[in-house]
Structure 1
Amino acid sequence: MLADYHVHTAFSNDSVYLMEDVVKDAISLEIEDICFTDHVDYGPYRDWDDPRGIEYRAGEEDEPEWVALTNVEYKKYFSLIEELKEKYKKQISIKAGLEFGVQTHTIPEYEKLFASYPFDFIILSIHQVGDEEFWTNEYQSTRTQQEYNEGYYKELLSVVQNYHNYSVLGHMDLIVRYDEQGPYSFEKVKPIITEILKTVIADGKGIEVNTSNHRYGIADMTPSRDILKLYRELGGTIITIGSDSHKKEHLGAYIDWAKEELRKLGYTQFCTFEKMKPVFHDLE
């Protein structure tokens, strides 16, 4: 079975990929199950209808002149997913999800959002700490490599201890992607990663394999093979696979590769989700 469970569209402020085009392209790639997981990052970004108004950034190549720095326009998002589910029901299974960029201080906003819409799947990610972004180096720039690596995992641990309405952790070692100083020793952060994984497993949640490591030039898997081995050793079984696609060329990329790598690590199954419940499939 070919499934992609980390997919972004024009509802995310870092993509212009129209949702129906994603569906059509997924069908052409013979993807059988797809879950939309557009970005919600409370703290740095506001909802589209926030009474304080919204901010904009200048558009880059292939983008509009100005891009609204907002979270998903939820009503339109879920309505369109339902339309596409019906239109393409004989060709592909479409699931409704979001990627929650949670921080401890924003948990109440995610609790409210989760209660407001019907979800199949939620990716829990950490994109910022203290509203400081990783991708711009804002968070790392004022800290040592030890401080920003440990700070990232401490925030992730705090979040999973206090927030429970999610399905899997997204790109669990994301800080690696934005660490300009190079690889940081796994052994130094292994104790806190162990606590994170134990919490996730006890809570009945999982982690994802994110195949975007290829386009970011990361030699290891995302999360690393060390983390994936540890997760299995601790008894973890819930694994999803996603491309983290934002463009046509990303969609479905390296999904089969990820399956093979998981088999090498001793895994026998991966998951899709429906109504927040995992569905297990053999790694073929």
Structure 2
Amino acid sequence: MNAEILYDCHMHTSFSGDSEAPMEEMVRTARKKGLAGITFTDHLDWDYHEKPGLFDLDLKSYTESVRAMQAKYNDDGFHIYYGIELGLQPHLAERHARLLARYPFDYVIGSTHVVDGYDPYYPLYFEKFGVQEGLRRYYRMILENIRAFPLFDSLGHLDYILRYLSPLPEELTYKPDGSPYGNADFMAEIDAILLELISRGIALELNTGSYRKGRLDPNPERMVLKRYYELGGRKITLGADAHTPEHIALGFTEIPAGYPLNQKEHFSSALSLLKETGFDSYLIFDGRKPRKIHL
């Protein structure tokens, strides 16, 4: 795929309620794409009220399957890591802490999928709150979640909510001069999130899963990534949020299929965007300890 050393540290398999991908197929595809390694991060979202039980991960079977893949495929040129994506809600903090004390994950993503019982993935969220209030509530919930449970390694897809605005409001596209809109009205809330991450030593994830939805930027969008760097943030992780094999490392080095044709001049691959912003490395986690991968 590329001469760069590439790890995709956010992906889902049939152990997640929203994926049917066999774990071994994800491994084989990652190896074919020339990745140096991957981290499985299947969903665990307790108290997911809209579809109860959808993301209640079978941790015993999941752990056994990851260990089997490691035993079969780990070698000097490729490594599989054991991770999880926790769906954060403030009332789950103690339960999550007990979970992490029990399971020896390499990497833990903390993500906000639920706000006041609703997931922005479903249209009902915006029907209830509207666009502006819905966005503001989402960012405030992220900050509340971090403060309630800061025991994770990287904040997943900070502006995940932008993926599910449909149709995309005009103010959430590019301006004629090429600069993005999107989060401009919510930078006070986003700054508070970024500063909280920095102060607690938690990484920010650059997540390219938004390209699956035809969006113009990754999560977070480039203006937020640049703001993180301006504020002193240097801990960054990289993941495609793939739920199928073809989306592994999506947009890491090349323009993804489905990117809006009339906006291609604005595209920057994930690695290019990191370099343009000023980053000279990204992080992977092994045994909850970060390791720098130099760009």
TM-score, with structure 2 as normaliser = 0.85
**Residue 34 (structure 2) pairs with residue 30 (structure 1):** yes
Identity of aligned residues (%): 33
Paired position in structure 2 for 1:265: 277
8 Å Cα contact 2:202/2:235 also seen in 1: yes
**Residue 90 (structure 2) pairs with residue 78 (structure 1):** no
1:56-93 per-residue CA deviation (whole Å, 9 max, x = no partner) reads xxxxxxxxxxxx72421101111221122122121521
In structure 2, stretches of 5+ residues that fail to align are 173-180, 254-268
SS at match of 2:41: strand
Instruction: Note the 1:97-108 alignment, pairs <5 A.
Output: 97-108=83-94
Name the CA distance, whole Å, in 2 between partners of 1:29 and 1:71: 30
**Residue 149 (structure 2) pairs with residue 152 (structure 1):** no
8 Å Cα contact 1:103/1:130 also seen in 2: no
Instruction: Note the 1:194-273 alignment, pairs <5 A.
Output: 194-256=191-253, 257-273=269-285
Paired position in structure 2 for 1:4: 8
Deviation at 1:45, TM superposition (A): 6.2
**Residue 155 (structure 2) pairs with residue 169 (structure 1):** yes
Name the CA distance, whole Å, in 2 between partners of 1:35 and 1:259: 18
Deviation at 1:185, TM superposition (A): 5.2
Name the CA distance, whole Å, in 1 between partners of 2:224 and 2:153: 18
The one-letter code matched in structure 1 to 2:31 is: I
In structure 1, stretches of 5+ residues that fail to align are 47-53, 56-67
**Among 58, 72, 85, which residue is 1:87 paired with?**
72
Which segment is superposed worse, 132-141 or 155-164?
Answer: 132-141
Name the CA distance, whole Å, in 1 between partners of 2:101 and 2:71: 24
The one-letter code matched in structure 2 to 1:173 is: D
Deviation at 1:122, TM superposition (A): 1.0
Paired position in structure 2 for 1:277: 289
Number of equivalences: 264
Runs of 4+ in 1 over 6 A off after TM superposition: none
Paired position in structure 2 for 1:61: none
SS at match of 1:199: helix
SS at match of 2:9: strand
8 Å Cα contact 1:45/1:69 also seen in 2: no
The structure with more helix, counted as a fraction of residues: 2
TM-score, with structure 1 as normaliser = 0.88
